[in-house]
Amino acid sequence: MDAVSASLDDLPLRSDLRGQMPYGAPQAPLPVALNVNENTHPVPEEVADDILDSVAHALREVNRYPDREFTALREGFADYLGHGLTADHIWAGNGSNEVLQHLLQAFGGPGRTAFGFAPTYSMYPLLTRGTGAEYVSGTRGVDYTLSAESAAEQIADAAPDVTFLCAPNNPTGTPLGVDVIEAVYDATDGIVIVDEAYQEFAPRDSRSALTLLPGRERLVVSRTMSKAFAFAGARVGYLAADPALIDALRLVRLPYHLSALTQAAATAALRHAPEMLAMVDEIVGQRDRISATLDALGYHPYESWTNFVLFSDVDDPAATWQALYEQGVLIRDIGLPRSLRVTAGTEAESTAFLDALASLGPGGAHGVTEERG
């Protein structure tokens, strides 16, 4: 085509989307990529073989629509989560972002508001605006923690229709106590979503929000297979909630939204949950090693119950990010002052990051460079 391409300004885009930026994290073919909190361990070979067999079997009937209710997968998630949950309490989608989008489509939308405590997961405002609702940001303490009293006061003042609680929080790694969840739930008549994408990396004796579900029909606990299950490329997220809330999500989902191949792969992976989760302890060990080494290098690592570490006291985050990039190490500049975030990878990957950072000297690289994070 010889004609000049149009720009967004030439299109009848919704006014509330003008000037907005899409989600984006650098994807670069570097030897050590530790910027998007992936599980960098490969799926164990024996598990991969079973997944392949299950997908191959599903292919034989791929000419037919998949099970619209993805019954076997919901049963698998219920068994995995425990806490007396059944398939009726479970919903799933193509990644936890789609699950959150379903919730906003059902309980958000034009004329309604969603609320989150900044800094938190960057997709919350994007998903909210994409469904026509308004996003409102609350605040955290100086160490990114959130007290029950402060959270409840902010929610009572804002009166949102949907509240996001990221537990543990992304991008800070901060734990969130069940007392905060209870206080927020009692302070609102709206939907409360507890995003437990990183729950498997929390201490084993920590309480999940799943324990709060009985008797709380407006409470939702969302999870993902991307992190602990090393399934980021498969795009499978899910949630647990009261069966009535699950019925509400059926009103907004697209027909047959989970493909037969996705259902087969995820169901097979859940059959091997112990093997898939065996790498979690190793990742937690590398996370704690990274935190300890960062502290020894003069940085300030924040407490993390996730598979990543946020650290501050970086003199020039953009320059440090660029210097690591040039050494083949990709981490994340998330825009917090004097801070960077790194995913805990394999032992070799974590060592490569720590060695590269140490080579930059105290405070990291200095000087003004183009920000690439």
DSSP labels, 23-88? --------SEE-SS----SPPPHHHHHHHHHHHHHHHTTTTSPP-TT-HHHHHHHHHHH-TT--GG
Q: What is the 3-state secondary structure (H, E, C) of 166-187?
A: ECCCCCCCCCCCHHHHHHHHHC
β-strand partners of 135: 114
Per-residue b or e along 35-50, where b marks 16 or more CB atoms closer than 10 Å to that residue's CB: bbbbbbbebeeebeeb
Q: What is the pLDDT of residue 5?
A: 75
Cα separation, 243 vs 219, in Å, equals 11
pTM of the model: 0.94
Q: What is the pLDDT of residue 72?
A: 97
Is residue 214 situated within a structural domain?
A: yes
* Tally of domains in the chain: 2
Is residue 335 situated within a structural domain?
A: yes
Question: Do 337 and 222 lie in a common domain?
Answer: no
- End position of a domain, from candidates 271, 293, 314: 271
- End position of a domain, from candidates 235, 256, 271: 271
Q: Quickly tell me which residue has 């060990």 as its tokens.
A: 285
CATH code of the domain in which 336 resides: 3.90.1150.10
363: left (phi over 0), alpha (psi -120 to 50) or beta: left
Give the single-character DSSP code of 227: S
CATH code of the domain in which 223 resides: 3.40.640.10
Q: What is the pLDDT of residue 27?
A: 74
- End position of a domain, from candidates 271, 293, 309: 271
For residue 335, CA distances in Å to 172, 275, 345 come to: 12, 36, 22
**3-class state of residue 1 by DSSP:** coil
**3-class state of residue 359 by DSSP:** coil
Task: Say if CB 267 and CB 72 are below 8 A apart.
Answer: yes
Q: What is the pLDDT of residue 371?
A: 40
Is residue 16 situated within a structural domain?
A: no
- Provide the domain limits for residue 345: 25-44+275-358
Give the single-character DSSP code of 272: T
Nearby residues of 297 by Cβ (< 8 Å), 6 or more positions away: 354, 357, 358, 362
Digit-by-digit pLDDT tens for the chain (373 residues) are 456 678 888 889 888 888 888 877 777 789 999 999 999 999 999 999 999 999 999 999 999 999 999 999 999 999 999 999 999 999 999 999 999 999 999 999 999 999 999 999 999 999 999 999 999 999 999 999 999 999 999 999 999 999 999 999 999 999 999 999 999 999 999 999 999 999 999 999 999 999 999 999 999 999 999 999 999 999 999 999 999 999 999 999 999 999 999 999 999 999 999 998 889 999 999 999 999 999 999 999 999 999 999 999 999 999 999 999 999 999 999 999 999 999 999 999 999 999 999 999 998 887 544 444 4
Question: Do 205 and 288 lie in a common domain?
Answer: no
Task: Say if CB 87 and CB 70 are below 8 A apart.
Answer: no
Q: What is the pLDDT of residue 369?
A: 43
Give the single-character DSSP code of 332: B
Amino acid of residue 255: P
Cα separation, 208 vs 132, in Å, equals 31
For residue 224, CA distances in Å to 58, 113, 227, 324 come to: 22, 24, 7, 29
